[in-house]
Amino acid sequence: MFNIAEYAELLRLLEEAAAVEEGLMPNELEMLRSLKTKYIEPSSVDPFDVTALNVMLRNVEIRKGYHFDPKKDAGRVIDLPRADETKNSAGNGGQAPKKGA
């Protein structure tokens, strides 16, 4: 059965994700476009789609604290330097200083 409240929440998340589109990774951008197409017409919402949008929005917020350009940097780098660390360590190639060094 169609739930208008769930659909309205999904549309809100789609709009919020579209507003930060420049911060999305290529795979996230592809998923956002796919979800926009999927939900052009009102339909029952897949809970996975809501979760995926929430994760995308959370990831954009997390990446803000790092020196990270989603258009140029690899998508699977785990140990990224923090934005404030790269300013302080410009003399060593932009890498964060090693602990204990």
Q: Which residues pair with 82 in a beta bridge?
A: 66
pTM for this predicted structure: 0.66
- Higher pLDDT, residue 31 or 101: 31
State the Cα–Cα distance between residues 91 and 15, nearest whole angstrom.
Answer: 41
- Condensed to tens digits (0 to 9), the pLDDT of residues 56-76 reads 999 998 888 777 666 676 555
Contacts of 64 (CB under 8 A, 6+ apart): 23
Q: How far is CA 80 from CA 14, 26, 31, 71, 88, in A?
A: 28, 18, 24, 15, 15
Closest CA to 41 of 2, 79, 86: 2
Report the pLDDT value the prediction gives residue 37, as an integer from 0 to 100.
Answer: 96
Cβ–Cβ under 8 Å, residues 14 and 36: yes
Report the pLDDT value the prediction gives residue 80, as an integer from 0 to 100.
Answer: 64
Q: Is the pLDDT of residue 28 over 80?
A: yes
State the Cα–Cα distance between residues 62 and 101, nearest whole angstrom.
Answer: 27
Report the pLDDT value the prediction gives residue 100, as an integer from 0 to 100.
Answer: 55
Q: Where are the domains of the chain?
A: 4-70
- Condensed to tens digits (0 to 9), the pLDDT of residues 40-56 reads 999 999 999 999 999 99
